[in-house]
Structure 1
Amino acid sequence: MTSNRLAQLSQRMAAVTLLLIVAMLALNAALWLFPVIAGKNGWGLGFALTDRLLSDTADKAALFPWWQTTGGIVLSSVPLLALAFGLGHLRRLFQSYARGDYFSSEAARHLGKVGRAVAIWVLLDFLCEPLLSVWVTMNEPVGQRMISLSITAPSFVALFLAACISIIARILWQASEVDSENRTFV
């Protein structure tokens, strides 16, 4: 692939990444505002923490007062904001690649922040689930309230990928240092 095509592809990926960030946060809010689209009888749309908590209670969630819906949006968005932060750095990485900065310390820094953000996303998803489950069921009668906590296989995969991305970022940083030293000798 020529460098011009690679630059164009990187620019497109930067744009797609921005769209993904916006779509992810908008879909999360939409699922809380219109829970019928998340339910089993709806469109089956769902995303991460919101999907786990609304898939069985979509009918009840449609009756939540505004403050409970707003709290659900906020609590379920906390992990997504960490992921959006990482995707923002992924976007900046693609923009660096579009400029031809393949072995820069800036590119390595962006990639490292992507890895850390994915790990933080998994951690925050794990921590916010019990809070959100209490929030969603707080108006239920005694005996029907719940606290949920889940560790899923995708969480382990995401943590593994976060570790891999962080290691590759460290390698890229080392390569940028070697590249910088080689340029000073020439």
Structure 2
Amino acid sequence: MTQLFSRLIALGCMAILITVPFIALYFLINIDLFATMTRSHLGLPIQWQTVSEIQWYSLWLLTVFYIAIGLAGLYFLRRAFSNFAKGQLFNHSNSRDLRLFSILLFAQALAKPLYFSISSVLLSMNHPSGQKMLSVSFGSDEVKVIALAMILWVMSDLLVRGCKLESENKQFI
């Protein structure tokens, strides 16, 4: 059952790694749709009529950088779960991949408040003086993701120790 779930997780990661860049390119080509989605999902009191096309492209680029952190993490998660699906549980490669995933997960959790802060400044840049915005938020979602990243870091360390025990057991047999 572990191998089946590992295979499903690896395939899910692969599907996301393939589709997200195409979606990002689609939004680059159709920046108006990106702007419409941003307006509907971003809960900021922005004067949307003042946002220029260059600001939308700048926000798109900022979003791509933010998403790239998560995609890099998914790449390493996919590698680890592909090995788990093959029955390779305790090895240094899995430990390294899970550790890199946890680092990138931690980095994305820290980048989220920065992303939204820069987004609010970027989108309110054309507002009249005194009405520009800087929105800073750090909530329980970021704390949960940071806690998950720390748990995965510990698990990656446990994989290394399990690998050492497995090699010691093979020497005695």
Match of 1:85 among 72, 77, 88: 72
SS at match of 2:153: helix
Aligned position for 2:7: 11
The Cα of 1:12 is off from its aligned counterpart by 2.8
Contact conserved, 2:6 with 2:81, CA < 8 A, in 1?
yes
Gaps of 5+ in 1: 41-50
Q: Distance in 2 between matches of 1:28 and 1:118?
A: 23
TM-score, normalising length from structure 1?
Answer: 0.77
Match for 1:65: what amino acid?
Answer: S
Taking a change above 3 Å as real, the CA distance of residues 166 and 146 of structure 1, as seen in their structure-2 partners, is same
Query: Equivalences for 1:39-54 in 2 at 5 Å?
Result: 39-40=39-40, 51=41, 54=42
Residues 1:185 and 2:172 are matched in the alignment: yes
The Cα of 1:92 is off from its aligned counterpart by 0.7
Match of 2:63 among 58, 62, 76: 76
Gaps of 5+ in 2: none
1:110-140 CA-partner distances (Å, limit 9, x unpaired): 1111111110001111223322211111111
Q: Distance in 2 between matches of 1:147 and 1:92?
A: 38
Match for 1:145: what amino acid?
Answer: K
Q: Distance in 2 between matches of 1:121 and 1:17?
A: 17
SS at match of 1:69: helix
The Cα of 1:152 is off from its aligned counterpart by 1.0
Taking a change above 3 Å as real, the CA distance of residues 68 and 87 of structure 1, as seen in their structure-2 partners, is same
SS at match of 2:136: coil
Taking a change above 3 Å as real, the CA distance of residues 127 and 55 of structure 1, as seen in their structure-2 partners, is closer
Number of aligned residue pairs: 169
Higher mean C-alpha displacement, 19-28 vs 115-124: 19-28
Residues 1:158 and 2:145 are matched in the alignment: yes
Match of 2:122 among 135, 138, 145: 135
The Cα of 1:184 is off from its aligned counterpart by 2.6
SS at match of 2:132: coil
